[in-house]
């Protein structure tokens, strides 16, 4: 398996590609950032925002989807400081930590912004967690769907066309687009990237779920999008995105980092809002593709110049493989599943380009050289046949 010569990403990560010099597309795109006139970009962004300012102040100027994290606080602070009147919109995941809950309640109060929180039924979400895990290998499918659907439903309902997200994740991490492309959110991106080709229809009828249970998953029709002029944009296309700087602004406005170290990463400021982001959801990424949240965070920090590659590799070695107890226990209790059952299902989603089986154990190449074993295989003999080592 190839690893980037600059950061810690393997070639299978987040839709990236690798150059002949083994430099990943994420690093190449980050280098583009260093050549951009960000002051000009910011002025362009302000001009775009004020095109949508409500006439006569009779409506909100825009919607900011927020989770309550550091980026949410930064986005809300920035837009509010421009003199605009945003509406904060949250899809509530039922996966908040105590600190994450406090941050969520703080963001609107500290900045004086109205905040709309949509809370789906916990019973429905428990079923979505289980089905999502069994069907897609991701218990947070409902989270992705809600975060990229509910704000557009609110925009349609209240006639607020502009919806502002933070960074464009696949551009920031993987270089899916050039920084000159300025990608916007589309119905196609929602289906292919966010929902991974699945639809709410794939959940209806499973675990007794009905169409009525999943009304919050229904994206506005093409006609509604055109009529309201719904448009999803990303601040990261116009504002230089640096989480290490943004968190300082967030903290000045009441944001709190995690009070204790995470089990799967060294950062305490990121993904405070959802216990599964740095927990079992991210562990499934390691199970599938052999890398985790520490790889994401070290790659970002190496590119930003706040960490050496050697330090990054050390963190990857320490954190990426860890099976998170707190998040796993929470999930297993919610969906009434045993850990053995979880492991059996998880193994079905491993990528044979990354993993192979020897002596009943899972093995993979590692960034610090050589190969390592990462636990017992739970697949049946028939299922094991495709996991032959690529030499």
Taking only the tens place, the pLDDT of each residue in 105-145 is 999 999 999 999 999 999 999 999 999 999 999 999 999 99
Phi-psi region at 68: left, alpha or beta (left = phi > 0; alpha = psi -120 to 50): left
Q: Comparing C-alpha atoms, which of 49, 65, 149, 145 is closest to residue 107?
A: 65
Contact (Cβ atoms closer than 8 angstroms) between residue 288 and residue 347: no
pLDDT in tens, 204-256: 999 999 999 999 999 999 999 999 999 999 999 999 999 889 999 999 999 99
pLDDT, residue 14, reads: 79
| pLDDT band, very low/low/confident/very high, at 258 (cuts 50, 70, 90) | confident
State the alpha helices, DSSP H only, in 34-139.
38-51, 70-81, 98-111, 122-136
Please report the pLDDT score of residue 389 as a whole number: 83
Q: Is the pLDDT of residue 98 over 80?
A: yes
Whether the predicted pLDDT of 270 surpasses 90: no
At 90, phi and psi to the nearest 5?
A: -125, 135
Q: How distant is the alpha carbon of residue 183 from its chain centre?
A: 17
**pLDDT, averaged across the chain:** 95
pLDDT at 351 over 90: yes
Task: Name the E strands within 107-166.
Answer: 115-118, 162-165
Residues in a beta bridge with 64: 88
Residue 277 has pLDDT above 90, yes or no: no
Residue pointed to by tokens 């448009």: 231
For residue 319, which phi and psi values (nearest 5 degrees)? -110, -35
Band the pLDDT of 299: cuts 50, 70, 90.
Answer: very high
d(CA 105, CA 197): 33
Cα separation of the two ends of the chain: 10
pLDDT band of 274, cuts 50, 70, 90: confident
Nearest 5°: phi and psi at 360?
75, 15
Predicted pLDDT of residue 320? 97
For residues 143, 126, 277, 9, the Cα torsion angle rounded to the nearest 10 degrees is -80
Note the Cα 161 to chain centre separation in Å: 23
Say what the pLDDT of residue 312 is.
Answer: 98
Bridge partners for 365 per DSSP: 371
Is 163 within 8 Å of 225 (Cβ atoms)? no
Domains of the chain, first to last: 25-34+258-386 (no CATH), 38-237 (3.40.50)
Structure tokens at 294: 């520490």
pTM of the model: 0.94
311-335: pLDDT as tens digits: 999 999 999 999 999 999 999 999 9
Predicted confidence (pLDDT) per residue in 138-171, tens digit:
999 999 999 999 999 999 999 999 999 999 989 9
* pLDDT of the residue at 281: 94
* pLDDT tens digits, one per residue of 32-66: 999 999 999 999 999 999 999 998 889 999 999 99
Predicted local confidence at residue 391, as pLDDT: 56
In the block, tokens 């080709």 appear at 197
Q: Which of 297, 292, 269, 268 is nearest to 280 (CA)?
A: 292
Alpha carbon distance 293, 230 (integer Å)? 32
Q: What is the pLDDT of residue 244?
A: 86
């Amino acid at each position: 398996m190839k690893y980037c010569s600059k950061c810690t990403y393997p070639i299978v990560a987040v839709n990236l590609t690798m150059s002949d010099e083994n430099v990943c597309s994420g690093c190449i795109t980050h280098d583009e950032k260093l050549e951009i006139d960000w002051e000009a970009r910011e002025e362009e962004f302000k001009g775009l925002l004020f095109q949508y300012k409500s006439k006569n102040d009779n409506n909100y100027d825009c919607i900011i989807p927020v989770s309550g994290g550091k980026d949410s606080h930064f986005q809300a602070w920035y837009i509010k400081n421009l003199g605009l009147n945003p509406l904060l919109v949250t899809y509530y995941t039922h996966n908040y930590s105590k600190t994450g809950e406090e941050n969520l309640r703080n963001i609107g109060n500290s900045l004086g912004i109205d905040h709309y929180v949509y809370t789906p039924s916990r019973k429905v979400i428990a079923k979505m967690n289980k089905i999502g895990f069994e069907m897609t290998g991701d218990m947070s499918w409902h989270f992705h769907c809600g975060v990229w659907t509910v704000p557009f439903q609110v925009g349609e309902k209240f006639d607020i066309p502009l919806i502002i997200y933070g960074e464009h994740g696949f551009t920031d991490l993987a270089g899916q687009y050039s920084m000159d492309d300025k990608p916007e959110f589309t119905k196609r991106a929602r289906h292919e990237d966010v929902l991974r080709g699945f639809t709410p229809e794939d959940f209806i009828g499973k675990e007794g779920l009905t169409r009525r249970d999943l009304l919050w998953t229904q994206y506005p029709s093409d006609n509604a999008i055109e009529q309201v002029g719904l448009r999803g944009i990303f601040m990261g296309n116009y504002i230089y995105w640096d989480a290490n700087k943004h968190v300082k602004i967030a903290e000045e406005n009441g944001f709190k980092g995690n009070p204790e170290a995470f089990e799967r990463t060294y950062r305490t400021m990121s993904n405070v809002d959802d216990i599964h982001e740095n927990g079992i959801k991210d562990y499934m990424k390691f199970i599938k593709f052999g890398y985790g949240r520490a790889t994401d965070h070290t790659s970002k920090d190496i590119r930003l110049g706040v960490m050496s590659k050697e330090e990054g590799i050390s963190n990857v070695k320490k954190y990426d493989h860890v099976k998170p107890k707190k998040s796993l226990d929470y999930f297993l209790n919610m969906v009434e599943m045993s850990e053995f059952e979880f492991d059996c299902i998880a193994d079905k989603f491993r990528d044979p380009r990354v993993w192979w089986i020897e002596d009943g154990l899972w093995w993979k190449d590692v960034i610090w050289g050589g190969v390592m074993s990462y636990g017992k295989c739970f697949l049946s003999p028939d299922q094991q046949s495709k996991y032959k080592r690529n030499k």
